[in-house]
Structure 1
Amino acid sequence: MAGVVSDDSAAGRRMPSLPWRVRVQLAALKLVHRRDGSIRRLLFSLGDLKASASARPDAAGVRSGDITIDASSGLWARVFSPSSSADADAPPVPVIVYFHGGGFVLLSAASRPYDAFCRRICRELRAVVVSVNYRLAPEHRFPAAYDDGVATLHYLDANALPADVATVPVDLSSCFLAGDSAGGNIAHHVAQRWASMSAARLRVAGAVLIQPFFGGEERTDAEVALDRVTALSVAVTDRYWREFLPEGSTRDHPAARVCGDAIELAEAFPPAMVVIGGFDLLKDWQARYVEALRGKGKPLVVVEYPDAFHGFHAFPQLADAGKLVEEMKLFVQEHNSKRGV
């Protein structure tokens, strides 16, 4: 499994040439935000195409269905289930609870890139994927997204999954949290909360944080050097924090600044896999998070892609996106409990 965060900065290096479709999509993403970081909502809504859940298996045998987690808050999730095994003695499969990115403000579990990515994880890892449609800011600020993540785990712990949605047996002692960007931030905080609770049937066996969205008031070298290199900018990330954090908070709020000696980690905090991209302006904050986990002696795998930009995983035509899924597969296999429930 890939290993160590390098000291190499993307400053002075030119990002490798990208396929034209990727360049077009990144250019479109830049247009969604004004220079001050605010969102052109109408333009975004036109581009945020949605995929419908389908009980009919796709070519790889993956089917999907939506479930209600909490009707009172409108919380729901999309569940992706792999094809049934012909082997009657096949062990139950792990569960991956996924949190989409979007700065706590944009996108959903039904957005096409996330429907496609979760479908790919389901197929290649042979796991049931529960993609959480958590509430978005600014209508629902901190800690709404974290509350929704914990509520999803409580739902799984109490109810498992409906048989008409999860068509294979699942192992709730092998539940993994995963997410990218803001979703990686949510995965950390939900893992911390769950690890601090009393024992439950559901066991969080690991957490996969793909370019997690952390931050602080100071400007890191990467934020200065990589501002607006791709679709993400400092103005955009600042705007996202203002819309998510409690009104009047700074970016040094514990939800954002998850690093240093002050980081709180429960004894039962799970093994983590942290993914860092060389052209991601958030990479210095992610590296600080890695050092904080190491300082606490937590099991940790760091996977670095020197040429990757923020959100690279959503572009299946990129080689690094395929490598990431393989790394996730290795991580899940390593920490899978092998115990059925």
Structure 2
Amino acid sequence: MDTELLYDMSPYARIYKDGRVERFLGTETVPPSLDEKTGVQSKDVAISPDSAVSARLYIPKAATGSLQKLPVLVYFHGGGFIIESAQSPTYHNYLNALVAEANIIAISVDYRSAPEHPIPAAYDDSWTALKWVASHSTRNGPEDWLNSHGNLKKVFMAGDSAGANIVNNMGIRLGEEKLNGIEFRGGIMVHPYFWGEEPLPLETTEPKKRSLIRDFWRAASPTTTGCDDPLMNPATDPRLSSFNVNRVLICVAEIDMFRQRGWYYKEVLSKSGWSGVVEVMEAPGEDHMFHMSNPSSDNAAKMMKKLVTFMNEEN
């Protein structure tokens, strides 16, 4: 067994030259359930028989007995493309709460993880999931919850960290490849995992921190040109103006390493020729993914309220 390290990304993961991966976080899973606290029901479904893509679906219990059509949220989890999953207790608990508060149906996509499945696997799987959702537009798709209760004229995408990166790249792809029968009303990017080779003003210049982010990206995308790859640095992407969702909400946290990238994304998206509306919500005194680690905090509650309002505003 080769014990030589390729990337030491402790305390998150280690990747060895022989291809072995040790994950120290994000490996715990919980089954789908009827959540007693929120009344939200969940189940796991296979998205595509010819691929490894699956998803965890969530629906408010009250909806299953009614004719009401609910907004649909496609959610992409974070974890640097390497750790975490849709079955993680962190994401399961968060989506139970979000679905209950917003009264929506959610599809939490379990895309394949790097480095075993390097980029673009996560993007391809996420696109497969969007196509699967669109296949329900005539009410005869494979999933009854979406056929009976999903409003496919009111679909949202959301994700945190690497999941927010996926939202950006799916929005651009929607501008290049149309999905018929489905209308995207908004994109939510929480603490987006964007980066660049050169630090932005106010961004950390600490070599260890910058090196960790670079290693995560290189481990996930071995053929990348680096952190100015358009997939990682939207400012270098000439296709950004084709982002085909006209409302974007970016959530940033004041002491998060990625804070400046969130604000910068707003700037470059606004100047790209894109014609939509983008807003940023900043949580004072908070770090990356604070709403997952401390969901009962005031700032987490405020952020939850903002997401709920964003998805329920008439537009």
Q: Structure 1 stretches (4+) deviating beyond 4 angstroms?
A: 40-43, 85-89, 165-168, 225-228
Q: Secondary structure at the match of 2:204?
A: helix
Aligned to 1:25: none
Aligned to 1:174: 154
Identity, % of aligned positions:
28
CA distance in 1, matches of 2:239, 2:182: 25
Find out whether 1:149 has 2:129 as its counterpart: no
One-letter amino acid matched to 1:68: A
Q: Does the aligned pair in 1 maintain the 2:240–2:269 contact within 8 Å?
A: no
Aligned to 1:268: 244
Aligned to 1:37: none
Aligned to 2:297: 318
Q: Secondary structure at the match of 2:151?
A: strand
Between the two structures, name the one with larger relative contact order (CA 8 Å, sep ≥ 6).
Answer: 1
Spell out, residue by residue over 1:287-336, the C-alpha distance to the aligned partner (whole angstroms, 9 max, x if none): 11100122234211211112110111202132211111100011111256
Aligned to 1:304: 282
The structural deviation recorded for 1:32 is 3.5
Aligned to 1:5: none
Find out whether 1:70 has 2:57 as its counterpart: no
CA distance in 2, matches of 1:302, 1:155: 30
One-letter amino acid matched to 1:70: S
Spell out, residue by residue over 1:74-127, the C-alpha distance to the aligned partner (whole angstroms, 9 max, x if none): 1100001102259956x4110100000000111100011011111111110010
CA distance in 1, matches of 2:183, 2:167: 14
Spell out, residue by residue over 1:257-304, the C-alpha distance to the aligned partner (whole angstroms, 9 max, x if none): 112684522273331000111101111121111001222342112111
CA distance in 1, matches of 2:159, 2:279: 15
Match of 1:245 among 221, 224, 227: 221
Query: Are the structure 2 counterparts of residues 208 and 43 from structure 1 closer, same or farther at C-alpha, using a change threshold of 3 Å?
Result: closer
Aligned ranges for residues 159-238 of structure 1 at < 5 Å? 159=136, 160=141, 162-163=143-144, 169-198=149-178, 200-224=180-204, 233-238=209-214
One-letter amino acid matched to 1:306: P
The structural deviation recorded for 1:246 is 4.3
Aligned to 1:3: none
Find out whether 1:282 has 2:258 as its counterpart: yes
CA distance in 1, matches of 2:42, 2:112: 21
What are the ranges of 5 or more consecutive residues in structure 2 without an aligned counterpart?
Answer: 1-8, 15-19
Query: Are the structure 2 counterparts of residues 161 and 322 from structure 1 closer, same or farther at C-alpha, using a change threshold of 3 Å?
Result: farther
Spell out, residue by residue over 1:6-63, the C-alpha distance to the aligned partner (whole angstroms, 9 max, x if none): xxxxxxxxxxxxxxxxxxxxxxx973458xxxxx955616x63211012x35232101
RMSD (Å), alpha carbons: 2.6
Find out whether 1:131 has 2:144 as its counterpart: no
Find out whether 1:114 has 2:91 as its counterpart: yes
The structural deviation recorded for 1:73 is 2.1
CA distance in 2, matches of 1:290, 1:267: 12
The structural deviation recorded for 1:143 is 1.6
Spell out, residue by residue over 1:173-213, the C-alpha distance to the aligned partner (whole angstroms, 9 max, x if none): 11100000000000111122123323511111110000110
Give the TM-score normalised by structure 1: 0.79
Spell out, residue by residue over 1:225-273, the C-alpha distance to the aligned partner (whole angstroms, 9 max, x if none): 6788xxxx32321111101224252111110111268452227333100
Query: Are the structure 2 counterparts of residues 67 and 285 from structure 1 closer, same or farther at C-alpha, using a change threshold of 3 Å?
Result: same
Query: Are the structure 2 counterparts of residues 257 and 88 from structure 1 closer, same or farther at C-alpha, using a change threshold of 3 Å?
Result: closer
Q: Does the aligned pair in 1 maintain the 2:41–2:59 contact within 8 Å?
A: yes
Query: Are the structure 2 counterparts of residues 92 and 161 from structure 1 closer, same or farther at C-alpha, using a change threshold of 3 Å?
Result: farther
One-letter amino acid matched to 1:276: V
Aligned length: 295
Query: Are the structure 2 counterparts of residues 281 and 211 from structure 1 closer, same or farther at C-alpha, using a change threshold of 3 Å?
Result: same
Q: Does the aligned pair in 1 maintain the 2:228–2:236 contact within 8 Å?
A: no
What are the ranges of 5 or more consecutive residues in structure 1 without an aligned counterpart?
Answer: 1-28, 35-39, 337-341
Aligned to 2:80: 103
